Structure 1
Amino acid sequence: MTDALVVGPGWLGSPVAVALAEAGHQVWTLSRSGSAAPAGCTAVAGDIALAVTREGRASLLARLPHTIRHLVVCVAPSSSRGDSYAIYPAAARGAAALAEALGVTSVVYVSSTGIYDRQDGSEVNEHTLIEPTNDRVQALFDAERLMLAAATACRAVHVLRAAGLYGPGRDPAARFAAGATPSRIWCNFSWRDDVVSAIAHCLALPPSGAGAVFNCTDNTPVRAGDIAQALTGRPADDAVTAGAAGAGAGPVRAGRSNQRISSAALLNAGWRPEVPDVYAGLRRLGHALPGRDGVS
C-alpha cells in the first residue's frame, strides 16, 4: 500500500479518505481551510490551484510526503467562499502539476454528468459529443481536458462523471415528493458510497498511456414523476408514460438536465453499485414508498 492524497475532503471526499485508509493506505487530505481529517488520515491546509506556480507547488510539497502515489480530486464551488465554476479548471491544472511533481501513478478526478447538458431525454455515454453552451459546462469540459492530458504510460488518469449524488446527509426525497421537478424529466442517481467504491476501483486500474472517462450512476434512470408517486402513493399531475425517451420533452429550467446516463463502460470495467436504483437508496434513508408497495 502507498500514500494517497484526497483533495477536497468534504461530503464525498471524506468517506473516500476513510475508505482508502481502511484499505491500508496512508491518507492525506488537502483543503484550503485545513479542516480536520477523518480518523486515521492527516490534514494539510493548502490550495491545489496554487500548485501551478513554482512557489505554490514548493509550499505544498514541503507539507506532503513524497511517497504519495494516488491522487483523488473532489472539488466543487462553494457559495460561502464566493467560488465560481472557474474552480474546476483551476483545480485540475493544479492537480496535474502536483501529480507530475510527486510522481503520482494513479489519479481520479471527480466530474459531473451535468457536462452532457441534454434536455431531450436522450441516452448519453462517454462517447456523446460535449457542446458547452454555458459557463458551468465549459468549466467542466476544460477541467476534464486538463486532467486527461496528465495521463502517461506510467500514470493512469480516470475522470469519473458522477450523477445525482445522494446518501446520508443529502436526501432528495422532499423535493421529489413536493413535485419540484417536472414529472417527465429523467433523473440519474449515484449513491455516495457507490461513488466512493468507484473511485477506489479506478485508482486500482493500470495506466494505458491515455486518460479514460467513466460515467458513474446506478445505471437506472427514473422519471421524476415515478419517484414522486413512489414516495406519496399519488400519480404525478403531469405524469407521462415512462416508456418513451423524451416524450413530451421541452426546455427545462436552467441547470436541470433531462437525459439518461449509461454507466455501461464502468460496469464493463468490473465495478458494481451496491444500491441498484433510487428506490433502494430512498429506503436506506428511511423512507416508506407507498407507491411501490410489493416492489422490491
Structure 2
Amino acid sequence: MVDRVAILGCGYIGIELGRQLTAAGYDVVGVRRSESGCAAIEDAGFEAHQADLTDPEAVSNLPDAEWVVFAASSGGRDAEAAQRIYVEALDSVIESYGERESPPDRLVYTSSTGVYGDHDGEFVDESTPLDPTTEKTRVLVEAERIARERSAEYGIDGTVARFSGLYGPNRYRLERYLEGPVTEGYLNMVHREDAAGAVGYLLIADRARDGVVLVTDDEPADKWTFADWLANECGVGNPPKETKQQRLTDDELSEAARRRILTSKRCSNGYLRELGYDLRYPTFREGYRAAVDAYRSENIE
C-alpha cells in the first residue's frame, strides 16, 4: 500500500474520493485554498492542507505523496480562469513533484467530456478525436496533454479521468427538469460516488497508467425522456419541452451557451467497464432515487 495520497483541489469529487480512500485504509491529505474548504475536508474525516495552487511557493510546499490527484476547479466558466488552474497550476504541480527526491508514482487529472465537441448525437469514446468548440474546452485539451506528457518527463504515470456531467448530493437540480422548459438533447451523467470511485479504482487496481478513461454511466439519457421519468417518479406533471431551435431564439444567450446547446454526443463507458470498474449507480434511475424520495417526502407524502 502507498504511504500517502494527495488530492489537490479537494472539492466536490475530491472529498468523496478522500472518504473512499480513507475507508479503504489509505493515508489521504486533501488540499484546498480556503479555511472553510479545509474545514470541510477535516469534517469528511481526513487531513487537510491549505494552499493556493496558483502560488509557486505554496506548490513547492505541498505534501509528498506517491499518488497525486489533480481535481481542482477553475471556479468559473471563462477560459482565462481555466488556463490559470488547468494549465499553469497543473504544470507547476507536476514540475514541483517531479523534481523531488521521491516523485509520485502516479498522477490522475480529472478532465471533462467537453473536449469532444459536437458529434451529432453519435457515441464517443477514448478513441474519438477531440474537437473542442470553446476557448475553455481548448484549454482542457491542453491540460490533458500536460497531465500525460509532462508527467512522463519526470517518470510519473499520468492518467486522465474524463468525467461526464457530475450529479449527486447538492447537485441534483430537480427544479430545472421538473419546471422546464427542457431543451432536447442528450444527458451524459455520472454520480459523484462513481466519479470518485472510478478514480480510486484506477489507482488501487493499477489500471490505465499513462492512459485516458471516460468516466460516465451506462446510459446516455434523452433529456425529454429523463425529465418525464423524473416528473412521474416525483408525482408531478411532465414539464414543458422545447427544441434546440426554439431555445436558440433567446437573444440573451451567450455564444458559449449557444455552442453548448448545439453540441450533442453520447458517451460510452465501455473501456471503464472493460477495466473492471463496477458502477454503484449504473443509470440515472438508481442515481436519482435518493433525490426523488426526498422530494416526495417534502412535497407529496
d(CA) in 2 for partners of 1:227, 1:104:
42
d(CA) in 2 for partners of 1:98, 1:18:
26
Are residues 1:41 and 2:40 paired? no
Q: Specify the alignment match of 2:148 in structure 1.
A: 148
Q: How far is 1:109 from its partner?
A: 1.0
d(CA) in 1 for partners of 2:207, 2:291:
37
Q: Residues 232-259 of structure 1: CA distance to partner in whole angstroms, max 9, x if unpaired?
A: 245666589xxxxxx99x9873334421
- What are the residue-to-residue correspondences of 1:111-190 with 2, within 5 Å? 111-118=111-118, 120-149=120-149, 150-151=151-152, 155-183=156-184, 185-190=185-190
SS in 1 for 2:10: coil
- Normalising by the residue count of structure 2, what TM-score does the alignment of the two structures yield? 0.80
Amino acid at match of 2:165: G
Q: Specify the alignment match of 1:244 in structure 2.
A: none
d(CA) in 1 for partners of 2:114, 2:49:
30
Q: Are residues 23 and 178 of structure 1, via their aligned partners in 2, closer, same or farther at CA, if it must alter by over 3 Å?
A: same
Q: How far is 1:140 from its partner?
A: 0.6
For residue 70 of structure 2, the aligned residue among 70, 73, 76 is 73
Q: Specify the alignment match of 2:281 in structure 1.
A: 275
* Alpha-carbon contact 1:165-1:189 (below 8 Å) kept: yes
d(CA) in 2 for partners of 1:153, 1:159:
17
Q: How far is 1:179 from its partner?
A: 2.6
* Alpha-carbon contact 2:167-2:190 (below 8 Å) kept: yes
Q: More helix by proportion, 1 or 2?
A: 2
Q: How far is 1:280 from its partner?
A: 1.6
- What are the residue-to-residue correspondences of 1:193-272 with 2, within 5 Å? 193-206=193-206, 211-233=210-232, 238=241, 253-256=258-261, 257-272=263-278
Amino acid at match of 2:81: S
Query: Which blocks of at least 5 consecutive residues in structure 2 are unaligned?
Result: 249-256, 297-301
Q: Residues 147-192 of structure 1: CA distance to partner in whole angstroms, max 9, x if unpaired?
A: 0111379633211111110111111322122234413x01111000
Q: Are residues 72 and 176 of structure 1, via their aligned partners in 2, closer, same or farther at CA, if it must alter by over 3 Å?
A: same
d(CA) in 2 for partners of 1:288, 1:232:
14
* Percent of aligned positions that are identical: 26
d(CA) in 2 for partners of 1:232, 1:206:
41
* Alpha-carbon contact 1:32-1:47 (below 8 Å) kept: yes
d(CA) in 2 for partners of 1:151, 1:25:
25
Q: After alignment, is 215-224 or 228-237 more displaced?
A: 228-237
* Alpha-carbon contact 1:225-1:239 (below 8 Å) kept: no
* Alpha-carbon contact 1:156-1:206 (below 8 Å) kept: no
d(CA) in 2 for partners of 1:181, 1:88:
31
Superposition RMSD on alpha carbons, in Å?
3.1
d(CA) in 2 for partners of 1:45, 1:288:
35
SS in 2 for 1:71: strand
d(CA) in 2 for partners of 1:263, 1:96:
28
* Alpha-carbon contact 2:13-2:196 (below 8 Å) kept: yes
Q: After alignment, is 36-45 or 197-206 more displaced?
A: 36-45
How many residues in Structure 1 have an aligned counterpart in Structure 2? Answer: 273
For residue 286 of structure 1, the aligned residue among 285, 289, 292 is 292
Q: Are residues 207 and 269 of structure 1, via their aligned partners in 2, closer, same or farther at CA, if it must alter by over 3 Å?
A: closer
Q: Specify the alignment match of 2:10 in structure 1.
A: 9
* Alpha-carbon contact 1:154-1:207 (below 8 Å) kept: no
* Alpha-carbon contact 2:181-2:240 (below 8 Å) kept: no
